[in-house]
Structure 1
Amino acid sequence: MSVNNVRNIYCVGWNYRLHAQELGNTVPESPIIFTKPTHALVEMTGQEIPFPADQGSLHYEAELVLVIGKAYRPGIRVDELVDRMALGLDMTLRDKQNEVKKQGRPWLSCKGFLRSALITKTLPFPGIDNLGKTEFVLQKNNQEVQRGNASLMVFAPQTLVDYIGSRYGLDAGDLIFTGTPVGVGPVNHGDHLALYWGEKQLGECTVQLG
């Protein structure tokens, strides 16, 4: 997958119970979906990545990312629709998010800014029955800060693809950031972030605030 070939970036909010609770939110009764522009997408290849330093606290949110391989149709199974997977970081301007939530405004300013959707290299999708057998981990400065497992999602991958596909459409080149587990937190200038699928590192980068 090339980031230049990505069509739509769908993101799922509050899809892990403990994460919803840590932000003081109720667990949703149906999926909360928002999008990011394709200009937000950057592959994590070990480089320094610049982020805004003048818009409040910047937080990491590690996520499992589904890579859609064909057009959605009613009744299609996840194993048919998804051909690859990756890990990602939904970078969030947390102060700005709290502000727009109070005002009832869209999340674009806090979720869709440049380089706010970081993604690792992809792996073949292991199949829905095997997805929960491996955990994903985010390390910040060589210390584990988040650990997630697809089996703990509030809305399972099949529910997500049916919900998104039937309402907004899904086709080859689309991505779904499936939500973040508990443990989100701030990043500072010079922080090193690395994402692991089991013991395998899939991507890393260094935060540059400026």
Structure 2
Amino acid sequence: MANDIRNIYCIGRNYRLHALELGNEVPEEPLVFTKPSHAVVPMNGNVVEIPGGRGEVHFELELVLLIARPLEPGMSPDDIIDGFALGLDLTLRDVQSKLKAKGQPWLDAKGFKASAPLGEWMAYPGEEGLKEHDFALLRNGEQAQLGNSRDMLFSISELVRHIDSRYGLGAGDIIFTGTPAGVAALHEGDVLEALWNGEKAASCKVKLV
């Protein structure tokens, strides 16, 4: 999977309640960071190994978009999206807090190996079609997060246009679109299930190493 992925763009604080739960200001424009392609691992019932000695590792369930082609004049953002998936933006939260306090980049907290577990790609129903269904994360059978793309601060169209104008988009790029409220620290043996419209779309078991 990772071999087919070029750039991984991620959006921070794109759901108001998530920004507030971490004590962050709500951004006035999309907050973009990146992960290396080595961060991507499958989320298909497998075991995902994450760092166990660097403080808390938080889960953040997100809608992930697959870009098929560059955005050309006259095209709609929907025209360049080839599929979507559910994925996790895993975050070394204690590391991130220290980096933010120093005004340093987030790469060490966001870009570690296996920090982007990703489910299988599904047919993209369009920006409006996504709003018709919720996505959710179950941890050990209990709901931890529930979201809907209609609650994004910056819409899919806005994200695509912003990223394209600032950094460029092309085939093989993916966009993690932000996480709803409810993030928390992972523990050894946690079983995570990502649901789309109530149906399991991705899952994994956590192993601390």
Name the residue aligned to 2:65.
66
* Shift in alpha-carbon separation, 1:74–1:13, aligned structure 2, 3 A: farther
Contact 2:78-2:157 within 8 A present in 1 as well = no
List per-residue Cα deviations over 1:62-105 (Å, max 9, x = no partner): 00001101112244212201010001100000000000000011
Unmatched segments (≥5 aa) in structure 1: none
Name the residue aligned to 1:199.
198
Matched, 1:179 2:207: no
Structure 1 consecutive aligned stretches of length 4 or more whose deviation exceeds 3 Å: none
Cα RMSD after superposing both structures: 0.8
| Letter of the structure 2 residue corresponding to residue 21 of structure 1 | L
3-state SS of 1:124 partner: coil
Deviation at 1:129, TM superposition (A): 1.7
3-state SS of 1:186 partner: coil
| Letter of the structure 2 residue corresponding to residue 85 of structure 1 | F
Matched, 1:135 2:131: no
List per-residue Cα deviations over 1:128-165 (Å, max 9, x = no partner): 12110000000000100000100000000000000001
3-state SS of 2:98 partner: helix
3-state SS of 2:165 partner: helix
Contact 2:19-2:25 within 8 A present in 1 as well = yes
Q: C-alpha separation between the residues in 1 aligned to 2:51 and 2:31?
A: 26
Contact 2:85-2:118 within 8 A present in 1 as well = yes
Q: C-alpha separation between the residues in 1 aligned to 2:73 and 2:24?
A: 31
Deviation at 1:43, TM superposition (A): 1.2
Q: C-alpha separation between the residues in 2 aligned to 1:205 and 1:112?
A: 19
Q: How many residues align?
A: 209
TM-score (norm 1): 0.97
- Of 67-76 and 40-49, the range deviating more from structure 2: 67-76
Name the residue aligned to 1:121.
120
Contact 2:2-2:38 within 8 A present in 1 as well = no
List per-residue Cα deviations over 1:32-79 (Å, max 9, x = no partner): 000000000011011111111110001000000011011122442122
Name the residue aligned to 1:94.
93
Deviation at 1:177, TM superposition (A): 0.1
TM-score (norm 2): 0.98
Matched, 1:158 2:124: no
Q: C-alpha separation between the residues in 2 aligned to 1:8 and 1:149?
A: 24
Deviation at 1:199, TM superposition (A): 1.8
Matched, 1:7 2:26: no
Name the residue aligned to 2:43.
44
Contact 2:39-2:116 within 8 A present in 1 as well = yes
Q: C-alpha separation between the residues in 2 aligned to 1:201 and 1:172?
A: 27
